Structure 1
C-alpha cells in the first residue's frame, strides 16, 4: 500500500501569522493607551517602588513577544495535511485537536495556484474536487505544491516506480512476461481462425482490469508470448479507420463498455515502431486504480487480479476479502 504523504504548511505562514497578530496587538495597546495612562496604573501597584516602570515594561514586552512566537510556531507545527489512498485528512489545533477527513473518488480534479509571494517562497494553494463531492477541498500554503498534483489526481495512491514513466517497446519486449508485463499478439484478429475473434478483446480487457486491481503494469499488443513482434497490420485492417487513431478509438469504446469510462484515466496507449523491422506495436501502461474495477460482458460481472504472470478471476467471497485488504485505506 502507498504510504501517506504528510504535509506541513510552508514556514512563511509563521511570519505571516506573527505579523498579523503583532499588528492586532499593537492596535489593542494603542486603543487602551488612549483610555488609560499605563504609568499612573503602574504607580498604584505595590511593587512599583521596587521595580522601575521601564524595567517592568521591557519585561512584559519580552514575555508577550515570547508567548506570541511560541503560539505562532506551535500553530504551524500542529497544522498538517495528510494525503493517503482515497482520502485527505486535515488536522489543526494546539489545545484541542480537530480532525477532518475528505474522501477522494476518481476522477479527481486538481487546481494549483501560486501568487507572486508564493512563487518567490515556493508555496501555493491546491483546490481538489473529487467525483463524489460537489464541494472542493482547499489546501493552503502547501510547499512546492506541484509535487502533490499527480499524487492527488491518482487518488492519493502513488504508482510503482517502474510505472511512473513510459518504457520503450524494445526494452519491454526484452524483459519477457512477468507480473507487471504481458504480451498479446492481437487486439481482435485471430490469425489461426483467420477472422475477428471477440474473445481476444475480452482477454485484453481482463488483463487490464487485473493490472488496475493490482500494482499496475504494461500490456504490449502486437507481440507473441516470446516477445517477438508481429505488428498491428491485421488489427488495423479490421477497423473502419485503419491506423493507430482508429485502433485507440476502438479500444476506448471496448474499455468504456467492459470496464468503465471512469477508469480510462489510468490507462495510456502509445504506438511505437520497432527499428529492426519497422513493425508497430501498441504499449498500454496501466496504473493501479483507486477503487475496484470489474469486467462486464453480457450479463456477467467478474473481478480479476494478477497472480505471478497470470490473470486470475476471484470468486465473490475471495474478491470481497481482497478488496477490503487492498483498499483498506
Structure 2
C-alpha cells in the first residue's frame, strides 16, 4: 500500500507546487510588464515636474543653474505684470487666458448641450450628423489653426470671398487686430471641441430613464420645464466632466495659438503656455519660464484635484 500511495502523494505535491508558481507568475508578470512604462512615467513626467519646480527657485538663464535663490523668478513675473506700462506679455497672457477660458468653456458647453438635445429628438439623418459634428475633434490643433488662419485671413479667406461676390463693405480683420485676435482663437477652439462635448451630453441624455420623462409629461410638464427641472440637473456629472476636460485643454493650449495667429501682433494672442515657451527657449529666462509653468500646473491642479476628491468621496460612500 505504501509503494502505491507514495507516487500519488508526490504527484499531488508537484501539482500544488506548480499551481503555486503559476499563481505567483500571474501576480508578478503584469508588474514586470508595466514596470518600464511606470519608470518612464515617473522619470519623464513627475521627475521633470519636480525639476521644473526646482528651477523656478533658481536664477537659471540660458542653462540651468542649481543654486537656489528663492522666489525671485515669481517676484519678477508678477512685478512685470503689475508694475509695467504698457502691460507685460505675462499680463497679456493671463488676461487672454481669462477671456479664452471663459468663452471657450462656456460656448462649448452651451453649444454641445444644444446639439445633443437636437440629436436626441431622433431627427432624420442623425447617423450622418453625429460624425460631422465629431469630425473636427479628430484633427490636430495645428491643422485646425492653419485651416482657420486661411479662412479668416482678410486677403485670402472669408473677407476676400465676400468682396468678390460684391459685398465690398464687409470687413473682418480680427486675426490681424491685436484687440480682437484672441477671439479668433476662441472661434477655432469652439469649432473643434463642441462636437466632442455634444457626444458627452448625448451619451448622458441617452442614459436618462425614459420612465421619468413620461411621468413628468403625464403630470403636465412642458418641454422647457422638462429639460430645466429634470434633464439638465440629471446631467450634472456630464457638465462637470466636460468642464474639467475643456478647462484642461484651455490652459494647455499652445499649438492652436501658434498655428492660427503666430502669437498675434506683438504677442497679443499669447496664452501662458506661449509665454512659457517664449521666455524659456527664446529669451533665455529659464527660471521665469519655469515659474510660469508651475503656475499653469497649479491652475490645472486647482481644477482637477477637487473633482477627483468629489469623485472618490462619492465612490467611498
Shared fold by TM > 0.5?
no
Tell me the TM-score normalised to structure 2 length: 0.19
Tell me the TM-score normalised to structure 1 length: 0.18
Q: Which has the higher contact order (CA 8 A, sep 6+)?
A: 2
CA radius of gyration, larger in: 1
